Structure 1
């Protein structure tokens, strides 16, 4: 059976958390694994429960949504953040997107969209609720490129090259070795080091982290 999407809800209003839980768990493919009332608790829950998606309020005590997004992306960059904000023009929303969030929805919007948004974000889509999406699309393209180029600073240039190739669909360690003109053994050794540096459990986890960060493009 396919494993469902694991979600953490982070919001300082208990009624909002309750409503989000009811909406999300009406979808049999989504499971709310934890709720957080502030930013620090959100980070702790992500580290403990390893959710696929965090539905993140922006304005919370003890570490707001922007701070929590930055910390989560630093600790577990494969986690998708869906910002849930009251105001479209809130500068913290754009800052959260720059920090690594994958989208945002307005709290005053159609609440029935939340389950679809969570599913889309978990699948790698960008979700945003803006009045002029065409105007913002180039900004998001630039953001995606900037995030990819700045991803995983702990890796060497060669390790990033290898990881980028491995994250491309249908590419293997043999094709990575051929593309880079190095031995297959060197690629395998590099992948072992990369997994250790990124805290990945296996090859599939490593590829998921790479694609979430924007890698997996033709060099």
Structure 2
């Protein structure tokens, strides 16, 4: 059965065997395809500009340019591309650096193939792969850090409904549960999130949440 939209994935890892295994896994999955591969961070940025992937699956430890720096550059050039980081580290220091760079989420390298495929689909749809408790803790730290360096702007291009959806996303509520609670279809919620991403020039709900919080459109204390 043909899908209406193929998810274009770029693989960035300096280990050939890892890229080969990941490519085979993705190519067997309907609805997604590998459109490029990179063996280091510089290649990842250059290849992203050539193929404009929907999702980049990015390793952190790579030659010439690490995955975090490559993520920063890709997000500056292609803000709506979602970056999914693969890492062997789970410390909050790494998670903070990953999300600050603009990554949509991260997975540990011991993840199962099915979980990786689910995560690719999730970040492509604007979902968060982080656990709600992790999301809340990490976002709190990012906001505390950001308020010292960023000016708060009152200009808000989002509609009241979009802000409502974004607040629920900030609580870690899934697209499906947002739809159920607002008595809307899942497709309508996806459309709202897509519009939010376009207006803010971001590629994931994590980035959108941080964008709104940093500008004072809502605060974590407002979220039950």
Interval containing the TM-score (normalised by the shorter chain): 0.5 to 0.7
CA displacement at 1:15 relative to structure 2: 0.2
**Cα offsets for 1:96-122 (capped at 9, x unmatched):** 122111111111122321111100011
Instruction: Measure the CA separation in 1 of the matches of 2:141 and 2:125.
Output: 18
**Structure-1 residue corresponding to 2:76:** 74
Q: What stretches of structure 2 of length at least 5 have no aligned partner?
A: 164-194, 219-224
Matches within 5 A, 1:1-219: 2-89=4-91, 91-128=93-130, 133=131, 135-142=133-140, 160-162=155-157, 164-165=158-159, 168=162, 206-207=198-199, 209-210=201-202, 212=204, 213-214=207-208
CA 1:121/1:18 → structure 2, altered by over 3 Å: closer, same or farther? same
Instruction: Measure the CA separation in 2 of the matches of 1:125 and 1:29.
Output: 17
Instruction: Measure the CA separation in 2 of the matches of 1:62 and 1:138.
Output: 33
CA displacement at 1:47 relative to structure 2: 1.2
**Cα offsets for 1:123-165 (capped at 9, x unmatched):** 111214xxxx46423224437868999xxx9xxx68x533x34
CA displacement at 1:87 relative to structure 2: 2.7
Instruction: Measure the CA separation in 2 of the matches of 1:3 and 1:147.
Output: 38
SS class of match (2:156): helix
CA 1:147/1:6 → structure 2, altered by over 3 Å: closer, same or farther? farther
Give structure 1 regions of 4+ aligned residues with deviation exceeding 4 angstroms.
Answer: 143-149, 215-219
**Cα offsets for 1:13-38 (capped at 9, x unmatched):** 00000011111111110111000000
